[in-house]
Amino acid sequence: MSKILVTGGVGYIGSWVTKLLCDSGHQVVVLDNLSHGYKENVDKRAKLIIGDIADPKKTKEALSGVDAVIHMAGLIVVPESVKDPVKYTKNNVLGTVSLLESMKEEGVKKIIFSSSACVYGTPDKLPIKEDAPLHPDNPYGATKAAIETFLQAYHANFGFDVIILRYFNPYGPGRLAPPITHAIPNFVKATLSKKHIPLYWKGEQIRDFIYIEDLAQAHIDVLKLTGFNVFNLGMEKGVKIKDVVQIIFNIVGYTVPIDDLGGRPGDVHANYASSEKLKEAVGWEARVSLREGLKRTINYYKNPK
């Protein structure tokens, strides 16, 4: 088993990845500045170091004896990135380059990067495959695309093994730090509280929702890969947002009113993945259906831990 550093491991996805790594017998170190998460999220079997990836001293401490890095630290709110692209560039791009330099100096040359379907922007065709052109529609997506380019450069110049996972839309149980911008938790919480559901674009956008445990498992499955790899990580099924809301209503057995919020800058109308490449490489596949995942999510928010 390996020793793995998870940056951003206090966050929603990072804490799931940390748990599954520990379940698989790996030794796990988490580096997080606690700006967007809770210490209680971190599995007790992991070692938590509080610090920022832009701080070489803390980062090198966290990298001691590590075999690979799963890099999940970063700002993720699309509308905020539209308002403050400089903040996102400094934190996401420059922070990652600082991490890569610390890794190089410590001799750690394997990184699994949590990227995003946002790098594709408005796709030319669906489902999206990994060789589709990158033209992000918002600054958040632009930071992910820029980081991918730096990873390619570190692979070419310094021999880094790189695995890029382009997430589509993760959802599922777990404690999220405010502001909660993920659609499904907001829909579920509003429904359970019998409040209005806020909906952009009348819910006509098409997304690929992947259950959090399936997404987290992919990080363990790709650990043994070498070279430079890019994979989509989705369910391979596009579903309209308004249809997700309807499934939630069907599960709980009642409806609540919907607030039409109109359009929103930075949104892509439709995206869903082809994950065939990842299946062929490591045998990964999504196991939890949307309906089952929504049931588990609803149960979690009824009785959050």
Would 61 be classed as within a structural domain?
yes
Structure confidence at residue 283 (pLDDT)? 97
**Domain containing 46 — which CATH number?**
3.40.50.720
Would 165 be classed as within a structural domain?
yes
Would 73 be classed as within a structural domain?
yes
Would 270 be classed as within a structural domain?
no
Structure confidence at residue 250 (pLDDT)? 98
Domain that holds residue 79: 3-172+210-234
Would 276 be classed as within a structural domain?
no
Would 20 be classed as within a structural domain?
yes
Instruction: Give the pTM.
Output: 0.94
In whole angstroms, give the CA distance from residue 211 to residue 297: 9
Query: Of 140, 154, 167, 211, which residue is the catalytic one?
Result: 140
Q: What is the pLDDT of residues 149-192, one digit of tens each?
A: 999 999 999 999 999 999 999 999 988 776 676 789 999 999 99
Six token digits for residue 46: 């992991």
Mark whether 167 is an active-site residue: no
> What residue ranges of the chain have pLDDT lower than 70?
178-179, 181, 266, 304-305
Structure confidence at residue 166 (pLDDT)? 98
Structure confidence at residue 304 (pLDDT)? 67
Total domains in the fold of the chain: 1
Would 294 be classed as within a structural domain?
no
Would 297 be classed as within a structural domain?
no
Which residue, 155, 48, 32, is CA-closest to 95?
A: 32
Structure confidence at residue 295 (pLDDT)? 98
Structure confidence at residue 305 (pLDDT)? 61
